[in-house]
Amino acid sequence: MSKFRAAPYIKALFEVAGNGGAADAMTDSLDRVAQALQEVPEFQRIMVSPLVLPEVKTRILDQVLDTLEITGPVRRFVFVVQSHYRLEHMDDIAAGFHSMVDRSLGRVHARVEVASALDQSAQHALVDALEKVLATVVVADFVETPELLGGFRVQVGSKLFDGSLAGQLNQLGRGAL
């Protein structure tokens, strides 16, 4: 069995969307479709079942997209994906589209682990510092990780910035050996 390749679908939608705000706005619509498929297993089962007639799938998908208020190019795109029997890969498609839009807008996502919750001003200060270091726009997802003991750890793609107390203790431990 071959591995699904989302890239052709992602590129096609990105070309339709163009750069900038339109593509960015489409990410929300794709996320809602992917979320519906993920959160309602019966919906996904029906959409991928060979026992359900294509016309029935189209009617059901049409109703779901109406409920989710999916319109325009994203709606047409979802129907194309469904007609190619690839709707179960909507998570991969949505994630890949997000990445492509982010790259086009010069934006990166960061997972920021902190020992304890930061207030808004501290979060903004940390994001501002990251943007200066990385020279790009940073969208941060803050996660509380008490095991860090203090400080923070930031993952941006394959880069890891470890300013945590636990990380410093690990460094000391490795240096002593």
CB 119 within 8 A of CB 77: no
- Tokens matching residue 41: 């297993």
Amino acid residing at 41: P
> Which of the four pLDDT bands, split at 50, 70 and 90, describes residue 175?
low
> Could you tell me which residues are beta bridge partners of residue 113?
143, 153
* Domains detected in the chain: 7-103 (1.10.520), 107-176 (3.40.30)
User: How far is it, in rounded angstroms, from Cα 78 to Cα 87?
Assistant: 8
Q: pLDDT (tens digit, 9 = 90+) per residue, 17-50?
A: 876 678 888 999 999 999 999 999 999 999 999 9
Amino acid residing at 111: R
CB 17 within 8 A of CB 23: yes
Q: Is the pTM of this model over 0.75?
A: no
CA 172 from centre of chain: 36
Please give the helix or strand (H or E) that residue 9 lies within, else none. Answer: helix 7-17
Helix/strand/coil for 48:
helix
Q: pLDDT (tens digit, 9 = 90+) per residue, 87-137?
A: 989 999 999 998 899 888 889 999 999 988 989 999 999 999 999 988 999
The residue assigned the tokens 């008490």 is: 146
Task: Using the predicted structure, report yes or no on whether residue 165 has a pLDDT greater than 90.
Answer: no
User: How far is it, in rounded angstroms, from Cα 131 to Cα 126?
Assistant: 9
CB 111 within 8 A of CB 143: yes
